[in-house]
Amino acid sequence: MRHVYEIRGPRAAVLPLVLDSPHSGNRFPADFNAVVSEIELREAEDCFVDELWEGAAALGAPLLAALFPRTYLDPNRHAGDIDPDLIEGAWQGEIVASGKAKLGKSLVWRTLEDGRPIYGRKLRADEVRLRIERYHAPYHDALRTLLDDTHRRFGAVWHINCHSMRAVAGKQSDDGEGQPRADIVLGDRDGTTCDPGFTEFVRATLAGMGYDVRVNDPYKGVELVRAYSNPRAMRHSLQIELNKRLYMDEATLKKSAGFGELQGNLQSLLEALAGWMR
């Protein structure tokens, strides 16, 4: 699926580790038809996150990276997380509400972070279904295949779901507008998506590098760690949120001088994880 995702590194993992970056894409589909600019839409992007973790490939761990923007369709949502206020007429399919629709941030985003509408009209149901078929389903199929193949080979799989976050909470953020955020936030949905030892190893390793690391505060993890985790079956998923101030300028969307240091520290984390898994 050349226009939907890329798999960086081996498709067959040489250690039981799989990464995915669902929000670092910025190839805008021709049928987006937003009434705001691409640069405004990219404010929601996890810029360069796929690059920050690209060292996984050298260790033999595949990284799945979405190429499309999350504002077009968010793969970190259930396919049924439909926003009724965005749809023209009634939605005839399944609705699995996450509560994000009230913010305009469900499967297909309706608003920007500041509340401005992304579209000048409501979307037809067939338009949304086509996005699900062409983007959501292939991304999830690819991740599921990587995780299943790795689990089949090793009897276990550890999944890192890679994200970045604004330095300071925005207008629609759960943690309160203007609230400064930690350097790194780990999310395991209150200990339900992975063995607590995995979360603690990652937390302690990063804290040992000098980072302020929080767990499930304010981000606990969403659909991609929920859907494919089962710790009892040795399927462990952990979300990692990196503060953008560590590596980029949020105003210009360009890398800062801190990019290389963070990338190097994440590589050290991956190397430590490889040893821990063995």
| pLDDT digit string, tens, across residues 153-198 | 999 999 999 999 998 866 666 666 778 889 999 999 999 999 999 9
pLDDT band at 89 (very low <50, low <70, confident <90, very high): confident
Q: For residue 68, which of 132, 112, 159 has the smallest C-alpha distance?
A: 132
Bridging pattern class, strands 17-21 and 248-249: unpaired
- Concatenated DSSP letters of 17-45: EEEEETT------TT---SS-HHHHGGGS
Instruction: Report CA-CA distances (Å) from 145 to 106, 256, 258, 265.
Output: 25, 35, 34, 28
Which DSSP letter does residue 122 get? P
Q: For residue 92, which of 63, 121, 126 has the smallest C-alpha distance?
A: 126
Q: pTM surpassing 0.85?
A: yes
Q: Which residues, in sequence order, are bridge partners of residue 248?
A: 255
Q: Read off the pLDDT of residues 22-61 as tens digits, 9 standing for 90 and up.
A: 999 999 999 999 999 999 999 999 999 999 999 999 999 9
Mean of per-residue pLDDT scores for the chain: 95
Q: Which helix (H) or strand (E) holds 7?
A: strand 5-8
Q: List, for residues 110-129, the tens digit of each pLDDT value.
A: 999 989 999 999 999 999 99
- The structural domains of the chain, with segments of one domain joined by +, span 5-277
Superfamily name and number for 5-277? Zn-dependent exopeptidases (3.40.630.40)
Q: Can you give the pLDDT at residue 205?
A: 98
Cα separation, 99 vs 112, in Å, equals 16
